[in-house]
Amino acid sequence: MDELIRNIAVYALPVLFAITLHEAAHAYAAKYFGDNTAYAAGRMSLNPINHIDPFGTVVIPVLLYLTTGFVFGYAKPVPIDFARLRHPKRDMAWVALAGPGANFVMALMWLVFAALLVFFQVNEPYPHKVAQAGVLTNLLFFAFNLVPIPPLDGGRVLTSILPHRLAWKFAKIEPYGFFIVLALIYLKVLNFWLVPVFYLADQALNLIASPLTLLLH
């Protein structure tokens, strides 16, 4: 229990930011490409309360952490009417990619924050742990949400690029997507996607940040 409390103290802020900016990015992209549904519903917001689902954001992650050691959860879905997008099939991919894209940018910001802590010789371990948690959380969000199973963002992207007939058939698995993902987590099959995508994102992140981190060091 003590370990759980310590992890919550370290991960709470990074997770809240990761969820909030991920969902707000979806809403912003949808508005940019022609659909104001999420904006009208107040979801283009940086207020975490507007995005948190008590069951999916709190209960499920804690239960999974205690039983499997893996954390999985979800926020309230951003309401998007894809038919309102200027080019629905094409723009669906950009709206979907906005969420993981926001997580990648946020991971970069946490990495820069970690470098600044070292540069300014901050010796208190807590902010260092939070910065590391911020990078880890957002890279996991990035990799996980790109899993090509609807309704995850990767599933939306795959639906967007498939030919119309295949896209229509593939989209029909969306009502079962949540259960498919849970099964893949339980069977540890999802690691075959998460590990390489996480690794590649981490390498790209460090490459982008390397000039600044070298300068600060």
**Residue-wise pLDDT tens digits, 33-47:** 999 999 998 888 888
The conformational region for residue 41 under phi > 0 = left, psi -120 to 50 = alpha, else beta, is: alpha
Segment 188-211, tens digit of pLDDT: 899 999 999 999 999 999 999 998
Per-residue pLDDT averaged across 181-187, rounded?
87
Dihedral (C-alpha) 152, 156, 157, 161: value to the nearest 10 degrees? 150
pTM, rounded to two decimals: 0.91
Q: How far apart are CA 25 and CA 82, in angstroms?
A: 15
Give residue limits of the domains in the chain: 2-216
Q: How far apart are CA 15 and CA 167, in angstroms?
A: 32
Q: How far apart are CA 168 and CA 154, in angstroms?
A: 15
Average pLDDT, the chain: 89
Pair of tokens at residue 19? 């969820």
